[in-house]
Amino acid sequence: MLDILHREFVYIWYYFEVQLRQIVFYWALGIVIGSVISVFGKQKIHSLMTVIQDKHLGAFGIIPASLIGIASPLCMYGTIPIAASFS
């Protein structure tokens, strides 16, 4: 029984490690890009949100809100400063 559990653990760990090695570069790049956007683009994103808030676009407001949401980093480095700037 322990042999089966050990084999399954090695199997799961191997595939976890392979997945991690494949995505670690893109994950780190995303953190860097998100940090740069939150530091240098915070004011621009905030002003765009203010402009959209003043317009009543209805259902068509989903498109610009989605585009701004893509630019707004949703990582731990960007969410807190942007939320603080909105408040």
pLDDT in tens, 67-79: 766 665 554 455 5
- Structure confidence by residue, pLDDT tens digits, 21-75: 888 888 788 777 777 777 777 777 777 777 777 777 777 777 777 776 666 555 4
Q: Would the CA dihedral through 24, 29, 32, 38 be positive or negative?
A: negative
Q: Is 58 exposed, middle or buried (0-12, 13-18, 19+ CB in 10 A)?
A: exposed
Within 8 A by CB and 6+ apart from 33, the residues are 73
> The pTM is what?
0.48
- The total number of structural domains in the chain stands at 1
Q: Which of these, 12, 84, 16, 18, lies nearest to 46 by C-alpha position? A: 84
> What letter does residue 75 receive in the DSSP assignment?
S
Domain residue limits at 32: 2-86
